[in-house]
């Protein structure tokens, strides 16, 4: 009975302190043993946090046995061998126009990158178009605004505003234009070799192959209605095209002066309103590493799509920054580079870019772009609103108390004191 009572909780706690002490010693020893056992795999795991990596990726844990896509690997070195600072899962933020379906017509060709091709690009879409000399992108309009950049050659562009005022002008390599949503317009290639240009729309699901076309509209309107509307015999419309024209070949336009004078009759003209020529503009920011020209509604009042034309010299860096007002849609004109995007939750991804690639950064995601080639990297940043705004990491830290920043980063206040007080935009070499 005494033995039985010695293991009863009340007896053990109140009447047999020596047994209680033994039990506590046992539990303490057991806990220490368990802790030691658990500490072994934790320590082993901690030792594994430094994963061995080699510059040429020859370690066994880096090798890719079996067949591999060596061509793609060369195009995407930072996807195949991501920087050690990358981590987590960040959706792809790149798509190449070279992968897009190209529709070829008698007057040229076109292809597009929309949210259907690049899933993250929910607010903007882009189109590449080539017109031969005389080739016409027929009279049309669409719901979203059209921002355009001339990549090559020359074109005649036309439009009519809601007051009936005429716009007719010629654009050349490096020029851009903006047609607001709902504004009817056209584009025609000029000699000697037509043109190639980029179109950008502030609508992610835009479809270049489903726009409001003049020939398509009239084909689907009864001839008696057309005759009544224009006060003319029905026979006037006997030769309407049986199919939409879209991109078609024809003669080059008449002289610019003649067409400007003809279209302005009765209502007047606005022949400069929708065109902007960045070649006549001084860079917004220039350093030894390159330059940037910011074109928003402060300098181009009609635009509701802001843009930055960026040129990075070899080794140059578009500094660490983010855009607080809107996502960013990019087009790479020439050169080679790489971009890293950081996402909340310790996630980051680096991808490589070259001519004809499209990039997309969601709103407020910090990122940078680096020239990794041996020639200038030229790209365009575009935003689905008229105002351009960014925040740079350098400017943020330079205007936060040095004591506070140093408590976060442990860089020392001398480094923080040396930071430029205004954003660099393009970091010198």
CATH of the domain at 341: 2.60.120.10
Q: What is the structure's pLDDT at 43?
A: 44
Whether 113 and 256 map to the same domain: the answer is yes
Mean pLDDT of 72-81: 89
Whether 302 and 415 map to the same domain: the answer is yes
3-state SS string for the chain: CHHHHHCCHHHHHHCCHHHHHHHHHHHHHHHHHHHHHHHHHHHHHHHCCCCCCCCCCCCHHHCCCCCCCHHHHHHCHHHHCCCCCCECCCCCCEEEHHHCCCEEECCEEEEEECCCCCCCCCCCEEEEEEECCCCEEEEEECCCCEEEEEEEEEEEEEEECCCCCEEEEEEECCCEEEECCCCCEEEEECCCCCEEEEEEECCCCCCCCCCEEHHHHHHCCCHHHHHHHHCCCHHHHCCCCCCCCCEECCCCCCCHHHHHHHHCCCCCECCCCCEECHHHCCCCEEECCEEEEEECCCCCCCCCCEEEEEEECCCCEEEEEECCCCCEEEEEEECEEEEEEEECCCEEEEEEEECCEEEEECCCCCEEEEECCCCCEEEEEEECCCCCCCEEHHHHHHCCCHHHHHHHHCCCHHHHHCCCCCCCCEECC
Structural domain range at position 386: 281-427
Whether 340 and 227 map to the same domain: the answer is no
Listed range (57-71, 132-146, 275-289, 368-382) with the worst mean pLDDT: 57-71
Mean pLDDT of 249-257: 98
408 is in an annotated binding site: no
Give the pairing of strands 285-287 and 391-392: unpaired
Is residue 85 one of the residues assigned to a domain? no
Q: What Rg do the C-alpha atoms of the chain give, in angstroms?
A: 32
Is residue 84 one of the residues assigned to a domain? no
Whether 150 and 114 map to the same domain: the answer is yes
Whether 307 and 207 map to the same domain: the answer is no
Give the confidence band of 49 by pLDDT, cuts at 50, 70, 90.
Answer: low
pLDDT digits (tens, 9 = 90+) for 355-406: 999 999 999 999 999 999 999 999 999 999 999 999 999 999 999 999 999 9
Assess whether pLDDT exceeds 80 at residue 121. Answer: yes
pTM of the predicted model as reported, rounded to 2 decimal places: 0.86
Tell me how many domains the chain contains.
3
57 is in an annotated binding site: no
Is residue 75 one of the residues assigned to a domain? no
Active site residue 381: yes
Whether 220 and 257 map to the same domain: the answer is yes
Whether 160 and 234 map to the same domain: the answer is yes
321 is in an annotated binding site: yes
Q: Which of 381, 395, 413, 423 is catalytic?
A: 381
Is residue 72 one of the residues assigned to a domain? no
Residues 6+ positions from 294 with CB-CB distance below 8 Å = 284, 306, 307, 308, 388
Q: What is the structure's pLDDT at 397?
A: 98
Is residue 354 one of the residues assigned to a domain? yes
Whether 272 and 293 map to the same domain: the answer is no
Whether 410 and 298 map to the same domain: the answer is yes
Whether 256 and 300 map to the same domain: the answer is no
Whether 309 and 172 map to the same domain: the answer is no
Mean pLDDT of 68-90: 91
Assess whether pLDDT exceeds 90 at residue 41. Answer: no
Q: What is the structure's pLDDT at 324?
A: 98
142 is in an annotated binding site: yes
Cα separation, 180 vs 178, in Å, equals 6
Last residue of a domain, one of 276, 293, 316: 276
Cis-peptide, bond into residue 388, ω within 30° of zero: no
Is residue 129 one of the residues assigned to a domain? yes
Whether 150 and 184 map to the same domain: the answer is yes
pLDDT digits (tens, 9 = 90+) for 159-198: 999 999 999 999 999 999 999 999 999 999 999 999 999 9
172 is in an annotated binding site: no
């Amino acid at each position: 009975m005494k033995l039985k009572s010695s293991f009863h909780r009340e007896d053990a706690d109140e009447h047999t302190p020596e047994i209680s002490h033994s039990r506590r010693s046992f539990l303490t020893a057991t806990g220490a043993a368990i802790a030691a056992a658990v500490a072994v795999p934790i320590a082993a795991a901690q030792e594994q946090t430094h994963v061995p990596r080699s510059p040429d990726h020859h370690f066994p844990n880096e090798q890719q046995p079996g067949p591999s896509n060596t061509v793609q690997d060369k195009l995407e070195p930072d996807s195949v061998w991501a920087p050690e600072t990358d981590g987590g899962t960040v959706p792809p933020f790149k798509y190449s126009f070279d992968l897009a379906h190209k529709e070829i017509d008698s007057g040229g060709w076109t292809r597009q990158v929309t949210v259907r091709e690049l899933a993250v690009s929910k607010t903007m879409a882009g189109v590449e178009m080539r017109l031969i000399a005389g080739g016409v992108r027929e009279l049309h309009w669409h719901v979203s605004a059209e921002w355009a950049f001339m990549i090559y050659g020359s074109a005649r562009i036309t439009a009519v505003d809601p007051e009936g005022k005429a716009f007719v002008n010629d654009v050349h390599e490096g020029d851009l234009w903006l047609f607001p949503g709902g504004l009817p317009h056209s584009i025609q290639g000029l000699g000697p070799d037509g043109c190639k240009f980029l179109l950008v729309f502030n609508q992610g699901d835009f479809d270049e192959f489903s726009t409001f076309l003049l020939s398509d509209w009239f084909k689907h309107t009864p001839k008696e209605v057309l005759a009544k509307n224009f006060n003319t015999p029905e026979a006037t419309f006997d030769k309407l095209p049986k199919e939409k024209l879209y991109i078609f070949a024809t003669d080059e336009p008449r002289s610019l002066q003649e067409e400007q004078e003809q279209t302005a009759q009765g209502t007047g003209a606005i022949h400069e309103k929708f065109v902007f020529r960045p070649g006549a503009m001084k860079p917004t920011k220039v350093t030894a590493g390159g330059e940037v020209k910011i074109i928003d509604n402060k300098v181009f009042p009609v635009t509701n799509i802001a843009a930055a034309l960026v040129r990075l010299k070899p080794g140059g860096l578009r500094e660490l920054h983010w855009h607080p007002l809107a996502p960013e849609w990019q087009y790479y004109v020439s050169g080679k580079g790489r971009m890293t995007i950081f996402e909340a939750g310790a996630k980051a991804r680096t991808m490589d870019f070259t001519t004809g690639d499209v990039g997309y950064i969601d709103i407020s995601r910090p990122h940078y772009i680096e020239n990794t080639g041996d020639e200038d990297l030229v790209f365009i940043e575009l935003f689905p609103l008229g105002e351009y705004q960014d925040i740079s990491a350098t400017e943020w830290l330079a205007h936060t108390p040095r004591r506070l920043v140093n408590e976060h980063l442990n860089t020392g206040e001398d480094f923080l004191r040396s930071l430029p007080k205004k954003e660099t935009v393009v970091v010198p070499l």
